[in-house]
Amino acid sequence: MIQNTLNFTIGIAPENASIKQDILFIKSALLYSDTITLVSPAASTYYKLTNENNRQNEKTLFELINKVFLFCQSSNPVQCAEMKPALDQLGELLHDTQYKSAPVKFRLQVKTVLKKFAKDVSEALEGLLGQEDCSDLIYLVNNGKVKLYDFKADFGGDAYIYEFFTELKRSVCDMNTFPLFDNLSNNLIKSAIDDHIIALNEVNEFNAIHAGLANNLLVSLPSFEFASANEILDIRKELEAPLIRFRSKMLLYNNEIQSMPWDKEFHYESLRLYHKEIAPSVLEINELTRESGFIKNLGYNVLTDDSGLKVAGGLVMSIAAAGVISTYSDILSFDATMLTAGGAYAISKIAKSFKEYQVNQNMAKKKDMYFYYKAGNLLDKTK
């Protein structure tokens, strides 16, 4: 069966207390791919803790708090050391065989304390990871835009590290998946390849290069890191058709890259490709779409041609008397002054200039790199 979707798997190792890299990679994948699976212990743990469905059972709550506790130890070891005895006591209580037969009121009190504790921890974790990034993550997961890998092992232990590596290995060896990893994850894969633990075929290598190259290009778009998830989704919706041509061109660009994303040469090869192929293509589109061809200079061209002034006559006066100009004043983008000055001649020049403008716009939209060019324009906060 032919695979007709681009499925990205993003792997982010917990290098520090942040999901900024997670969100940055997710946004580039939202622009480019069809499905996204995120393998990230920090993101997964935060989402589980904030999901109300996971707060109904005392043991589940305790397990989640324990995972977050292990995660927070690296950033605040002193406070965690003070909290650990209380957590240990709570764990002993919940796992005691007599707990299920304890009075309902007592169990409700324990559950209330756990929920309050989980809420406090989740708020602290949100401050640690970044409130805006956390909000984007919850929105994207809840709306089915991102699927979170569900870790089974406890965070920080050997079993967790093995599970994380196993999932990275699975995705990089899956011919239907395009793997996109951060630096630590890439280093882990490179070590496994060097030690002959992982063997990749040509399709695996092609997919890894493709995902890495697309990400490198998209995250370098103007103001990309400051765009919200909703802005990215809006741009993707608007540029769905141009994306098809862009993907086709990106597949050809794969052949220009000889190194793998985990090789130090990959970044420089991507940069060279940008300056050699992509920047000139974007410049060509910019020249076709620049406003000087119609919007910027149209009024000036008409008003400075005095031959048009001779035929203003009664046509425009008739239009004005009939109320046409006032009726359509909010629709037409041309000044009434320009119409009264040029009359029928002005209208003729407008039509001619607009036709030229449309031709250039249509030519630009058929360019392979129009998606990249237009996405950059929509993201550019300076325009």
Q: What is the pLDDT of residues 81-96, one digit of tens each?
A: 877 888 888 888 888 8
Strand partners, 10: 38, 180
* Averaged pLDDT, 295-302: 43
Which is more confident, 120 or 204?
204
Residues 6+ apart with CB under 8 A from 285: 364, 367, 369, 370, 373
pLDDT at 361: 62
Given this model, what pLDDT does residue 321 score?
A: 47
Q: Is the pLDDT assigned to residue 169 strictly greater than 90?
A: yes
Residue 177 has pLDDT above 90, yes or no: yes
Whether 222 shows a pLDDT value over 50: the answer reads yes
Predicted local confidence at residue 224, as pLDDT:
87
> What average pLDDT is seen over the chain?
78
Asked whether the predicted pLDDT for residue 205 surpasses 90, the reply is yes
The gap from C-alpha 331 to its chain's centroid, in whole angstroms, comes to 35
Give me the pLDDT at residue 203, please. 96
- Is the confidence at residue 256, as pLDDT, over 80? yes
CB atoms within 10 A of CB 227: 19
Torsion of CA 172, 176, 178, 179, to 10 degrees: -20
Res. 232 pLDDT band, cuts 50 70 90: very high
Q: Residue 345 pLDDT > 50, yes or no?
A: no
Residue 337 has pLDDT above 60, yes or no: no
pTM: 0.74
Label residue 192 left, alpha or beta by phi (over 0 means left) and psi (-120 to 50 means alpha): alpha
Reported as a pLDDT band with limits 50, 70 and 90, residue 3 is low
CA distance 265 to 247: 23
Mean pLDDT of 161-177: 94
Instruction: Give the whole-number percent of the chain exceeding pLDDT 90.
Output: 34
pLDDT of residue 114: 82
Report how far residue 88's alpha carbon sits from residue 81's, in angstroms, rounded to the nearest whole number: 11
